Structure 1
Amino acid sequence: MAIKKFLQLVEIKTKTASMIPFLFGTVYAIFRFQEFKLEHFLLMLFSLLSFDMATTALNNFYDYKKAARKHGYGYEIHNPIVSYRMKPARVVLLIGILLLIAVSAGIALVLQTDLLILLLGGLSFAVGILYSFGPIPISRMPLGEIFSGLFMGFVIMFISAYIQAGDRLASLTLEGGVAVLQVHLLEIVLLFLVSVPAILGIANIMLANNICDIEEDIENKRYTLPVYIGRANALMLFRLMYYAAFIDLIVLIFLGVNPLLCLLTLLTLFPINKNIGRFTKLQTKKDTFGLAVKNFMMMNGARIIILSAAILISL
């Protein structure tokens, strides 16, 4: 399979939705706990990226198989299996290879850490598969935004911070055949608050995607959130989630969790607000869907850069 076809099949441009929370969780662990383990970082990188690509390819394959209408609505363009005339058997083989890499790297990471990574990693794998596969995939229900936001925005960030900080966040051990879970509640709550902009940004990527596909989804019996609440309400939700993310950033600065330098992140509100206006006027995959990805990258990428700068200044 040619590289271009592969990158389109796995929608490589959307991998920022998993890579940015992963990177931010790592930077947060360095900033708050002064911890960084390169081997843990690389193992999670391989596992996460491979699994993310596998689930995207699986989602495209499932859409290809389940499509009720195979013409119109840009179906011939949007689905890479159709537009690049890929052989389904090769797509399935590729999905299998990516899953094998993801599982292998994940197991290696568990051996380097503890059982909590096995539990959270297994749960994430299960949700990722159920998101695209099964009798009623999550992506075909009005739950896609919630699951993608929480698992990609918070769980990924938690795991990436946990593999660096270890029991300073939590621990899961076996004592006499009994599983003992210990949690530093305050640190977990603070980490969740830190992850809110990522949670809402990822949820908005999914929401923007579903708004763009609302007519096609109705035709193909995909009952996503915009199908249930309507385009107007979905667009209002799209706007409000961004504003909620900025409120969270301000709260974190007042709590002292983020350094004052993170006030610079608020400057991204201006281009983000402009992109919100553009998307509100026109919602198409070709013209404006990418704005949701850009907004996510601006808001959360700026946090990574600024927090990294704060780490360097502290050194």
Structure 2
Amino acid sequence: MSTRTQEVSRGRAWLMAARPQTMPAAVSPVVVGTGLALGRGVFAPLPALVALLGAVLIQIGTNFANDYYDAVQGADTEDREGFTRVTAGGLIEPAEVKRAMWLTFAAAIVVGAYLVAVGGLPILIIGLLSVAAGVAYTGGPYPLGYHGLGDLFVFVFFGLVAVTGSYYVQAAAALGVEFLTLVPSAELVPPAAIVASLPVAAICTDILVVNNVRDVEEDTRTGKRTLAVRFGYGFSRAQFVLLLGLAYAVPVALAVTTDDLATLLPLLTLPYAATLTRTVLTETTGDALNPALERNGKLLAAFSALFAIGLAV
């Protein structure tokens, strides 16, 4: 264990394992779903708050899972350019991190029981799939992140599912729904909710893209076959730009089709996005891309907050 890791307190180590810098990916989908619920007159404060808590717990559980499984499978090495991982760094015993992962997911399930009571069978299915995906991202017999499926996982679960699910539980609380209804009506999951989820899905996925660009060399050595490893820097940089373009195209499309100029508020973040893009297109080192990851999270938070305001108005 290095002198640096020895100097880290236990509380600080657990905070590092929880990775608070990733919380915008958990909070932003709920914020956007709630903004849309406000705009469509179905806002329900308690389901929104519980959905937020559940999302944060699933995010933390997933972070614990990534920390543990990446370490035990040898994906985190001493040459790692990213933020310190507590399992690989010897800060916390692997068994403790694994136990914390399961306890956190269990807490998410307990919290989600209320949402199941409100939203019925669809929320039960979504909740269980979200927990399973959080583990399967780096664990299990076929880790998604190790086979180039991490991007799809993030786009679906942190974007499409999280935003539409946050809207759905509020609409279900306001309008009512039969517990055993498997396919929600368009009133409970309108096309607008799916469209509103796309920017969040895109920017969340871009966070993973930056992470994978930074880790290309280490992932290549350890056999982690991300899209960046499979197709190279050029592909991932093009992917980053296209996803960011999708994020900004949605507010413009909504403004054009609905004559609601408030949905253009996220465009205020374009200068910040431009500086981030410049870094991603020119840098590969951890010294440059670690700060870029944090800026990407801040971009997600700012974009989502402005987008939610525009949808609510």
| TM-score (ref. length: structure 2) | 0.87
Matched length: 305
**Equivalent of residue 116 in structure 1, options 118, 122, 128:** 122
* Cα distance change of structure 1 residues 195 and 230 upon mapping to structure 2, 3 Å threshold: same
**Percent identity of equivalent pairs:** 24
* Cα distance change of structure 1 residues 194 and 170 upon mapping to structure 2, 3 Å threshold: farther
Q: Distance in 1 between matches of 2:310 and 2:182?
A: 38
Give 1:100 deviation, angstroms: 1.9
Matches for 1:188-199 after TM superposition, within 5 Å: 188-199=190-201
Q: 1:279 corresponds to which residue?
A: 280
Q: Distance in 2 between matches of 1:153 and 1:69?
A: 27
Q: 1:15 corresponds to which residue?
A: 23
Give 1:185 deviation, angstroms: 7.8
Kept after mapping to 1: 8 A contact 2:66/2:138? yes
Give 1:173 deviation, angstroms: 4.6
Matches for 1:65-214 after TM superposition, within 5 Å: 65-67=72-74, 70-74=77-81, 78-83=84-89, 85-166=91-172, 173-174=179-180, 181-184=183-186, 188-214=190-216
Q: Calculate the aligned-residue CA RMSD, in Å.
A: 2.6
Q: Distance in 2 between matches of 1:244 and 1:112?
A: 32
Q: Deviations over 1:160-219 (max 9, x none)?
A: 111111288995654xxxx55342189532211111111110111111111110111111
Q: Deviations over 1:29-69 (max 9, x none)?
A: 1112x223232223222222112101111111011111167
Kept after mapping to 2: 8 A contact 1:169/1:188? no
Kept after mapping to 2: 8 A contact 1:18/1:153? no
Q: Distance in 1 between matches of 2:173 and 2:186?
A: 8
Q: 1:40 corresponds to which residue?
A: 47
Confirm or deny that 1:63 pairs with 2:64: no
Q: Deviations over 1:229-278 (max 9, x none)?
A: 11122112212221222122210111218x31232321321221121012
Q: Deviations over 1:286-306 (max 9, x none)?
A: 422442442453355244246
**Structure 2: segments with no counterpart, 5+ residues:** 1-8
Amino acid at match of 2:247: A
Q: Indicate the SS of the match to 1:287.
A: helix
Confirm or deny that 1:53 pairs with 2:60: yes
Q: Indicate the SS of the match to 2:223.
A: coil
Give 1:82 deviation, angstroms: 3.4
**Structure 1: segments with no counterpart, 5+ residues:** none
Kept after mapping to 1: 8 A contact 2:30/2:48? no
Q: 2:10 corresponds to which residue?
A: 2
Q: Distance in 2 between matches of 1:291 and 1:49?
A: 22
Amino acid at match of 1:156: A
